[in-house]
């Protein structure tokens, strides 16, 4: 199937409620029951938006017809503009002339994967869908509180689908591919998402800043909002990266000191890669869904199911600038009772829970009661702003990782709780699903877990109330 | 099942070829068909090794009997020694006295998970097994070229099993849990693995250095060996980490500047976490299995299936100190022919392969021919020391990720080739398996891929020939 057909498929199969007019001067008959028109000028109704999936050279003449028809917006998905040099720049100049410098018609793209708005989950039958204009067809998705603005189509297409499969609990509200941003850019989309209260997390990938001053101003506005976070990956931080972005979205080289200054002033969370971008977005998405208070001091407690992991975790936690507070007398004394005499707990909030579990098992106490008690104590400790947990999952030792019993506790706290799960892959997946159904994120490694806690502290420090 | 029983199970079910005598003063009958003895002194045959899984207090008297029996080695898995303070230190002093400062009997542990040697894969039926003395029973494993020395039992137990499941291609030769290393330490095991030519990769987790001077000397020896690499995670780099390690293996605090100097002088690859330790170990394991030449300059080529990923990849690659060499005339001209006119290739070795694939598809050429050609050209380019690949995997577009066609090429090169796969999880797993069957590693993120290439350069620089 060609790209144009896939776009119509995406609109139709995802329940777009408006009218769709496929246009092809060379086609007769219909597409998914929609009759072809040979030109927009043949359409009798008014048209709000034109979506282009035609080779770059054919765009100016069709765009002229769109202006004539009075269409106010266009999404141009074709590539071959600023990013290919001279010929592409000529095409751009033609477009600027035809649109009277984008005053007659506003343009998303070119060189993009369209816009997506999700209104209801893909498994919601007739209610599913929203507005899907990518040439990548979306089959599985959830509505959520994350909005994506990206200069890499991959982030709105294949890589996005990959992440929706990887993080089945990750819900999206919008996914906007802005391509070369010849007209509309991160600025307009950011303005829109700031006003939209269904959006908590704005995940952005940029190869260039369209208007740094305005960008900083908008980010500052977000810094004063308690329910929104911006995460940014900036491509083209190095000379080689800039060369690559020039041939990708036609982004012109930016001074790397200037880039650093913009990011710093904007106060956004910076991600180094797409991997971090999605992981951070998922974390904040869950944080907002559970009304979690962002940790201000970085005072964390670590609950570890292994001494060696405890040591490494302590090192990495400290390296990230987080701290283990000294436990209050009340908490410490309560822990002493739970722990065996031969292995008393630490005075600081690093809890190797294993000896307490062993003691419980020796006394024929269900270990989940102990686990529940330890979490309750730590969550009740004033100085502890959140909990990092390292747990071993095995179906053969299910009693030590039966989180069903602990979830209740988790649902009544405003402190973040993160998990790093190891053990049998199947059992990890089971526990992970249980936790993420309750908006408790799990991470594939210790460092990911710590890093994601650290960004919460960054975000809290960046907030201006 | 109790720990002692699990150890016997592990020995028996994994085909240990020697004789096993379970000892329990209170038990009658048999264990897996092996009759209980009440004491080692009841055994008529000579005994090579005693494995202890009894509470700490009971060890001295039984150890005395072992000495009396003339047993030359013991593995003590129980905890409750140096790591629990005063009482544990008294027990240690008793052991030193009984063993005449370890001259009468050598000791592994205490507070450990035993030693494991793998002779044949777990799916090899009657031939499977080796020597398994952990109280964690191993069901699935492969014999390979990696040896583990660890002060965290988890690395020889649950976390190890997790990694064997996560990296099904990862084969082990030895897994040695050295616990508190009251007698035998990393030094003796390292000496052994240096001499053992079935071992290429030595993965170590230490909470303290037993003999820094000797450690550096042994590592230096490895630096002169073309077929061995040491990877080290050092726990207790921070004060909090040291407090944690004191209560874990009784490791005393070490000056952090001193630790840094030891690691630097040893020239080992330093991993920051268990996650990195296993990932790095797997990478080097594959590198040695495929007789790959370590890159000296860090000159790398990147084959990307997306422009945005190309930009981010370029940034991160440069940040890790790697370089994209300028392509030679011959290679560049050959690439020009493969690429469409509207999107010519870069002069430097960052290849966004997508336009070439699109051109192929427009010309009804099978994209795998193009992919094969691009890899062949880059592998043939003198200045390129290895290839990083970012590929999109989808069963619907299998023609663009059909690596079966490319594998042949990969098998005839001595340059490292790494993959970062994105797309449908199922298809990723399929392609990943195909690649890893050919000792080509795949990574879950761009940064992991780049970091793993970077350690190859580190290792090559550390080698002294």
Instruction: Name the residue with higher pLDDT: B403 or A68.
Output: A68
pLDDT for position B1: 60
- Beta bridge pairs of residue A233: A205
Q: What is the mean pLDDT of residues A371-392?
A: 94
CB B71 within 8 A of CB B49: yes
Q: Are residues B267 and B228 in the same domain?
A: yes
Nearest CA in chain A to B155: A308
A200 and chain B in contact, CB less than 8 A: no
pLDDT for position B211: 96
- Nearest-Cα distance to chain A for B79, in Å, is 10
Chain A environment of B245 (Cβ under 8 Å)? 307, 311
Q: Taking all residues of chain B, what is their mean pLDDT, rounded to a whole number?
A: 92
Under 8 Å CB-to-CB from B221, ≥6 apart: which residues? B194
Structural domain containing residue B23: 3-108
Candidate from A166, A243, A324 with C-beta closest to B346: A243
Residue B405 has pLDDT above 80, yes or no: no
Q: What is the mean pLDDT of residues B268-281?
A: 96
Q: Are residues B312 and B458 in the same domain?
A: yes
Q: Where are the alpha helices (DSSP H) in A320-366?
A: 329-338, 354-362
pLDDT for position B400: 63
Question: In this predicted structure, which of A180-184, A396-400, B302-306, B382-386 has the lowest mean pLDDT?
Answer: A396-400
Candidate from B165, B346, B423 with C-beta closest to A162: B423
Chain B environment of A275 (Cβ under 8 Å)? 444-447
Q: What is the mean pLDDT of residues A385-407?
A: 81
What are A204's two structure tokens? 């952005």
∠B289-B294-B297 over CA atoms, to 5°?
A: 165
Q: What is the mean pLDDT of residues B231-243?
A: 89
Residue A397 has pLDDT above 80, yes or no: no
Chain A environment of B238 (Cβ under 8 Å)? 314-315, 318-319
In a domain, B92, yes or no: yes
Task: Decide which of A289, A309, A333 is a domain's last residue.
Answer: A289
Q: What is the mean pLDDT of residues B439-462?
A: 96
Task: Decide which of A289, A311, A343 is a domain's last residue.
Answer: A289
pLDDT for position B399: 64
Residue of A80, A168, A311 to mutate for B, most B C-beta atoms under 10 A: A311
Place of tokens 């062993």: A358
Residue A1 has pLDDT above 70, yes or no: no
Residue B144 has pLDDT above 80, yes or no: yes
Residue A310 has pLDDT above 90, yes or no: no
In a domain, A217, yes or no: yes
Instruction: Name the residue with higher pLDDT: A403 or B386.
Output: B386
Candidate from B152, B238, B319 with C-beta closest to A315: B238
Contact call for B238 and A310, based on CB within 8 A: no
In a domain, B294, yes or no: no
- The C-alpha atoms of residue B67 and residue B63 are separated, in whole angstroms, by 6
Instruction: Name the residue with higher pLDDT: B239 or A402.
Output: B239
Q: Specify the CATH number for the domain of residue A333.
A: 3.40.50.261
Candidate from B233, B308, B324 with C-beta closest to A154: B308
Model confidence at A17, in pLDDT bands (50, 70, 90)?
very high
Give the three-state DSSP class for B102.
Answer: coil
pTM over 0.95, yes/no:
no
Instruction: Name the residue with higher pLDDT: B251 or A328.
Output: A328
Contact call for B308 and A155, based on CB within 8 A: yes
- Nearest-Cα distance to chain A for B6, in Å, is 13
Highest mean pLDDT among A222-236, A349-363, B156-170: A222-236
pLDDT for position A109: 95
Model confidence at A465, in pLDDT bands (50, 70, 90)?
confident
A129 and chain B in contact, CB less than 8 A: no
Q: Are residues B21 and B93 in the same domain?
A: yes
What are B339's two structure tokens? 């690429």
∠B150-B154-B155 over CA atoms, to 5°?
A: 45
Residue B214 has pLDDT above 70, yes or no: yes
Chain B environment of A77 (Cβ under 8 Å)? none
Q: Are residues B217 and B320 in the same domain?
A: no
Instruction: Name the residue with higher pLDDT: A74 or A84.
Output: A74
Candidate from A158, A319, A447 with C-beta closest to B394: A158
Residue A275 has pLDDT above 70, yes or no: yes
Residue A48 has pLDDT above 70, yes or no: yes
% of chain A exceeding 90 in pLDDT: 72
How many other CB atoms are there within 10 angstroms of residue B77's CB atom?
24
Crossing angle of the two packed helices B446-462 and B307-319, in degrees rounded to 10: 30
Candidate from A158, A205, A424 with C-beta closest to B423: A158
Residue B115 has pLDDT above 80, yes or no: yes
Question: In this predicted structure, which of A195-204, A235-244, B97-106 has the lowest mean pLDDT?
Answer: A235-244
Candidate from A87, A240, A394 with C-beta closest to B350: A240
Q: What is the mean pLDDT of residues B331-358?
A: 90
Q: Are strands B34-35 and B30-31 parallel, antiparallel or unpaired?
A: antiparallel
Q: Are residues B314 and B438 in the same domain?
A: yes
- The C-alpha atoms of residue B65 and residue A130 are separated, in whole angstroms, by 77
Question: In this predicted structure, which of A194-203, B194-203, B411-420 has the lowest mean pLDDT?
Answer: B411-420
- Beta bridge pairs of residue B206: B234
CB B90 within 8 A of CB B96: no
DSSP one-letter string for A27-60: --SEETTEEPBSSGGG--S--SEEEE-S-GGGHH
In a domain, B137, yes or no: no
- Scan residues 48-67 of A and list those with Cβ closer than 8 Å to B: none
Q: Are residues B252 and B401 in the same domain?
A: no
Q: Are residues A264 and A408 in the same domain?
A: no
- Nearest-Cα distance to chain A for B327, in Å, is 14
In a domain, B120, yes or no: no
In a domain, B295, yes or no: no
- Nearest-Cα distance to chain B for A411, in Å, is 29
Candidate from B80, B241, B444 with C-beta closest to A314: B241
A46 and chain B in contact, CB less than 8 A: no
Task: Decide which of A289, A322, A348 is a domain's last residue.
Answer: A289
Q: Are residues B222 and B341 in the same domain?
A: no
Q: What is the mean pLDDT of residues B402-418?
A: 86
Place of tokens 């499969």: A165
Q: Are residues A40 and A82 in the same domain?
A: yes
Q: Specify the CATH number for the domain of residue A25.
A: 3.40.50.720
- The C-alpha atoms of residue B356 and residue B379 are separated, in whole angstroms, by 18
A120 and chain B in contact, CB less than 8 A: no
- Nearest-Cα distance to chain B for A285, in Å, is 21
- The C-alpha atoms of residue A82 and residue B380 are separated, in whole angstroms, by 33
Chain B environment of A236 (Cβ under 8 Å)? 311, 315
Nearest CA in chain A to B166: A425
Q: Are residues B336 and B452 in the same domain?
A: yes
Q: Are residues A343 and A285 in the same domain?
A: no
Q: What is the mean pLDDT of residues A321-350?
A: 93
pLDDT for position A399: 64
Question: In this predicted structure, which of A65-69, A102-106, B117-121, B133-137 has the lowest mean pLDDT?
Answer: B133-137
Model confidence at B65, in pLDDT bands (50, 70, 90)?
very high
In a domain, A124, yes or no: no
A318 and chain B in contact, CB less than 8 A: yes
Under 8 Å CB-to-CB from A324, ≥6 apart: which residues? A299, A300, A301, A302, A314, A317, A348, A349, A350, B240
- The CA-atom distances, in angstroms, between B219 and each of B223, B229, B327 are 6, 9, 37
Under 8 Å CB-to-CB from B384, ≥6 apart: which residues? B299, B300, B301, B325, B349, B378, B415
Based on the structure, what is the number of domains in chain A? 3
- Beta bridge pairs of residue A188: none
Contact call for B154 and A308, based on CB within 8 A: yes
Nearest CA in chain A to B179: A308
What are B204's two structure tokens? 């170590």
Residue A125 has pLDDT above 80, yes or no: yes
Q: Are residues A318 and A263 in the same domain?
A: no
pLDDT for position A344: 86
In a domain, A433, yes or no: yes
Q: Is the ipTM of this complex over 0.95?
A: no
Q: What is the pLDDT of residues A180-190, one digit of tens each?
A: 999 999 999 99
């Amino acid at each position: 199937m060609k790209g144009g057909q896939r776009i119509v498929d995406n609109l139709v199969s995802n329940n777009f409620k408006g009218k769709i007019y496929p246009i092809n001067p060379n086609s007769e008959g219909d597409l998914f029951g929609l009759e072809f028109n040979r030109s927009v000028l043949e359409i009798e109704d008014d048209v709000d938006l034109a979506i282009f999936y035609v080779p770059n050279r054919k765009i100016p003449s069709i765009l002229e017809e769109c202006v004539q028809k009075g269409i106010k917006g266009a999404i141009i998905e074709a590539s071959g503009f600023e990013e290919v040099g001279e010929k592409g720049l000529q095409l751009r100049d033609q477009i600027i002339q035809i649109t009277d410098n984008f005053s007659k018609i506003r343009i998303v793209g070119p060189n993009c994967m369209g816009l997506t708005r999700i209104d209801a989950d893909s498994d919601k039958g007739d209610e599913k869908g929203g507005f899907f204009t990518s040439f990548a067809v979306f089959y599985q998705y959830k509505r959520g509180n994350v909005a994506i603005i990206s200069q890499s189509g991959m982030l709105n297409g294949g890589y996005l689908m990959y992440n929706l499969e990887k993080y089945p609990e990750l819900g999206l509200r919008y996914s906007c591919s802005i391509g070369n941003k010849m007209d509309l850019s991160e600025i307009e989309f950011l303005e829109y998402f700031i006003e939209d209260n269904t959006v908590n997390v704005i995940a952005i990938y940029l190869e260039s800043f369209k208007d740094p001053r305005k960008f900083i101003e908008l980010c500052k506005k977000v810094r004063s909002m308690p329910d929104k976070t911006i995460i940014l990956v900036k491509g083209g931080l190095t000379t080689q990266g800039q060369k690559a972005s020039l041939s990708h979205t036609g982004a012109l080289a930016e001074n790397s000191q200037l880039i650093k200054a913009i990011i710093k002033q904007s106060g956004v969370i910076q991600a180094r890669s797409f991997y971090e971008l999605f992981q951070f977005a998922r974390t904040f998405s869950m944080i907002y869904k559970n009304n979690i208070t962002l940790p201000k001091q970085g005072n964390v407690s670590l609950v570890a199911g292994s001494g060696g992991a405890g040591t490494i975790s302590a090192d990495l936690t400290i390296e990230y600038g987080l701290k283990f507070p000294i436990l209050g007398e009340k908490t410490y004394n309560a822990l002493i009772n739970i722990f065996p005499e031969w292995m008393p707990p630490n005075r600081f909030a690093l809890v190797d829970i294993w000896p307490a579990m062993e003691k419980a098992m020796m006394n024929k106490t269900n270990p989940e009661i102990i686990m529940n008690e330890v979490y309750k104590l730590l969550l009740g400790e004033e100085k502890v702003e959140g909990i990092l947990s390292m747990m071993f999952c095995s179906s053969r030792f299910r009693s030590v990782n039966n989180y069903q019993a602990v979830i209740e506790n988790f649902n009544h706290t405003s402190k973040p709780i993160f998990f790093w799960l190891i053990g049998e892959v199947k059992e990890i997946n089971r526990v992970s699903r249980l936790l993420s159904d309750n908006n408790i994120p799990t991470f594939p490694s210790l460092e990911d877990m710590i890093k994601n806690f650290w960004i919460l502290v960054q975000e809290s420090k960046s907030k201006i109330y």
